[in-house]
Amino acid sequence: MNQPHFTPAEHAHLTAYMLTLARALDLGSWDITLDHHPSSTNTLGQNKTIHGKRNATIYLHGDWRTDTPAELRSMLVHELLHCHFEPAWDIIDIDLANTRQLAVPAQEILEKTFGHQMELLIEQMVYLIAPALPAYEPPGTPPLPDTPLTGTPPLTGHDA
């Protein structure tokens, strides 16, 4: 029998971790959910965003349990960063396409090239940002502190 994509405990723990990352990435006002289903074949993760509603659904690949904590963090940061860049995708995929000023082959080439460049940009940002964010700890470990960026306790008293 196949193991479910998430146990209830895994889903709750991953959701809490994902939301910690989301707050650190200035997405605290968004409604972000971790879907119970795996991402599409041949993807590590997916993000379905409705930018105007500040709503996103994140999907993880079927073998996410084999990822290291650093890989899982990077994957979630990558998918969360897509929330910030969705309006740029919409300009190419929706707005420009609706003008019908480009021939279909040119539009398809532009969409594919733009998409590839956006993925490279987001991945470079992940490379720079993810190491500064809290590492993933599997269920059974103490919960993550609710503090910005580093996951370390805020400075108080003479430390501040």
Give the pLDDT of the chain (160 residues) as one tens digit per residue: 355 688 888 999 999 999 999 999 999 999 999 998 888 878 888 999 888 899 999 999 989 989 999 999 999 999 999 999 887 777 776 667 677 777 778 778 888 888 889 999 999 999 999 999 998 888 766 655 554 444 444 444 444 3
Residue 49: which residues within 8 A CB-CB, separation 6 or more?
A: 55, 56, 82, 83, 86
pTM of the full predicted structure?
A: 0.79
Rounded Cα distance, 26 and 24, in Å:
6
State both tokens at 65: 């349990």
Q: 49 with 55: CB under 8 angstroms? A: yes
